[in-house]
Amino acid sequence: MQQTIQLDDVPLNRFHLKITGLTFSAHLTDGYVLGVIGFALAQIKPQMGLTPFWEGMLGSSALIGLFLGSLLLGWIGDIVGRQKIFCFSFVIITLASALQFFVTGPEQLFLLRVLIGFGLGGDFSVGHTMLAEFSPRKHRGVLLGAFSVLWTVGYVAASFAGHFISDLSPDAWRWLLASSAVPAVIILLLRIGTPESPRWLMRKGQQQQALAIIHRYFGEHVTLQPEPAHSKRHNLGVLFTARYRKRTAFNCLFFVCLVIPYFAIYTFLPAILQAMGLDKNFGTDLLLNGLLIVGAVMGIGLTAICSRRGFLIGSFVFLAACLVAMSLLTGSQSGWMIACFAAFTLMMSAVSNLVGVFPAESFPTEVRSMGVGFATSMSRLGSATGTLLLPLGIVHLGLSGTIAILAAILAIGAIVSLAWAPETKGLTLVDAGEAASPEAPQPSARTATLHH
């Protein structure tokens, strides 16, 4: 007779890999959606006579939608279940992506891209939550962090599509934007039949249904202990109670400080390379895109090897130093500029793995989807603001001044992480949530060892 084990300690199996693939396929779509807009804008701008304001609005539109979707659908996911939002989000993404082909003005395109972002934001909230709640703790950090690889693959695929499609015809931008409907509808079909999170079912008192799912996918010898309830409230206010406000603040601030430079720089990468005096050609883009993929893979290894806290703090310091150096370099020092930008790209892609790890590990099941969603929504609000203001910043402050501001944002991220970042590596989801709580004692080294 097999010994009973907890869901946190089951060996990695095919179902874990399947739910990981279904979760991170959304990030591939997100990377593609955000990557193609920079190339599409090059054609849309003269055709629609876009002002810098509308250029920034269209560049940030999906990020605005991500803010709204993460906030609203993450909250709903804690009430009605993860699986429903997991499928519904891609219905929205598929339809809005296809309708981009028929737009006649910037206002229509803006609204459709907000809808796409809305679906993606909700999906990020419940997707990372579901993956965290199914994953064994031994592999949870790697699985949650691996999303960065697929996001980068989607972004690089958008770069290839942009280079080879945008010059085919004056209306190539329509095909380029609408092409995101293809992966979206495939993902939607593959997600049909995904089971509900057993942890969510347990929290709703549906123990038999939860155990039935666990036994089907992990075996009859696997069980799950219900988590203690700390709150019966189901609104965003619970995230600001004494128990959760510190972890809410940390996850929002570190997330915001990472993604503002990321999205501001890479959404307008062709324009930034030109402003730097670097050749705007496929070779330069290919180098940087290749480094994004290498960095994402490197980040998986660093997430597995390093402490969560040390990896995050060290990366913030390194990234800020790279941008400070870039702000001080002149156009005649293009070699050093490329070297700094390459180092920045590599490390930014690597540490981006942690934005999928910390929020999911910081909140208990009762508010996990809402907590992940709120942190994601705040990050997208920040990145949307940065993306909206970057073209105006370059015009009024110059490239060096704009880069210096982004370096200051990364420095703030380092300070926040030094003050508040918990260490959640190797803990169960229950203990990880306790480690992030200022009211609960930090798990000792001996306790963490006993949980392995």
d(CA 102, CA 222): 51
pLDDT in tens, 95-124: 999 999 999 999 999 999 999 999 988 888
Q: Lowest-pLDDT range, 244-258, 295-309, 384-398?
A: 384-398
Check residue 434 and give its pLDDT.
57
| pLDDT for position 377 | 81
Residue 321, C-beta contacts closer than 8 angstroms, at least 6 positions apart = none
Question: What pLDDT was estimated at residue 1?
Answer: 53
What is the rounded CA–CA span in Å between residue 371 and residue 429?
14
Question: Where exactly are the structural domains of the chain?
Answer: 9-194+235-450
CA-wise closest residue to 360 among 318, 303, 403: 303
- Bridge partners of residue 5, in order along the sequence: 222
Please check the confidence at residue 9 and state whether its pLDDT lies above 60.
yes
- Amino acid, res. 411: A
Q: Lowest mean pLDDT: which of 73-87, 235-249, 329-343?
A: 329-343
pLDDT score of 431:
54
Residue pLDDT, tens place only, 245-260: 898 999 999 999 998 8
Reported confidence tier of residue 445, pLDDT bands at 50, 70, 90: very low
- Residues 225-235 have pLDDT tens digits of 776 655 555 67
- Higher pLDDT pick, 370 / 230: 370
Q: Three-state SS for 352?
A: helix
pLDDT of residue 363: 83
- Whether 198 contacts 211, CB under 8 Å: yes
pLDDT digits (tens, 9 = 90+) for 162-202: 878 877 888 889 999 999 999 899 999 999 889 999 988 98
Domain 9-194+235-450 has CATH 1.10.600.10: no
DSSP state of 5: E
